[in-house]
Amino acid sequence: MVLTLYKMDASPPVRAVYMTIEALKIPNVDYRDLNLLADEHLTEEFLKINPQHTIPTLTDGDFNIWDSHTIITYLANKYGKDNSLYPTDPVKRARVDVMLHFDSGTLYPALRFNDEPIFFGTATSFTPEGVAKIKAAYDFTESFLNGVQWLAGDEPTLADISCVATISSLNEMIPIDAKEYPNITAWLARCSKLDYYQKGNTPGLQEFGVLLKQFLARKF
């Protein structure tokens, strides 16, 4: 059965799914672009698949699923040849799940608070409140990485994949100070060397950065 992924490359949650697909070496994925900036996610056809009209959205046969965290755990459960990305041990899995919820509850809301007024409104700068949310997200992440190489264990997991897609995008907004955040800086460098990061995150991250600069530079 061919998987269908509705996506926009610049989207951090989409890039988390890309990286998971690359890490799991899932073949024959049908990629379908949806330009949110042109409201292509609001068509009647797409709303039948995902009434919440968000990306990424995955179709596996007659099963439709959305939210990147749910998608990547589903893919790991179904297609993983081992449990390294999403451990089956209850304690190890809980550590991953904590970080996935940290991404959905703290990291991504900080990003969305800042980029939504820019991409879907008329803002051309970040607010002090928005910057504070990003700094708080960095502070938490820095503490989580004290004395460890990866967010949820001794090797990369879905926790790192999900969080790095968001944090690398936040870094395009408010660059991470290596002196203030040495743990994040080192972790980002480790992540950037992963093959699936280079294939699944780097191209879309570059696109995100270009779009962000273009929208911030608008004149009204």
Copy the structure tokens of residue 24. Answer: 């799991």
Give 174-211 pLDDT, tens digit per residue: 999 999 999 999 999 999 999 999 999 999 999 999 99
Torsion angles phi and psi, residue 57, rounded to 5? -130, 135
Domain boundaries, the chain: 3-79, 90-216
Q: What is the largest CA-CA distance in the chain?
A: 54
**40 vs 19, which has greater pLDDT?**
19
CA 156 to CA 136: how far, in whole Å?
23
Q: Facing residues of 31 across strands?
A: 5
Confidence of residue 13 (pLDDT cuts 50, 70, 90): very high
Which of the residues are catalytic? 11
| pTM metric for this prediction | 0.95
Neighbours of 182 (CB within 10 A): 13
Specify the CATH number of the domain 3-79: 3.40.30.10
Specify the CATH number of the domain 90-216: 1.20.1050.10
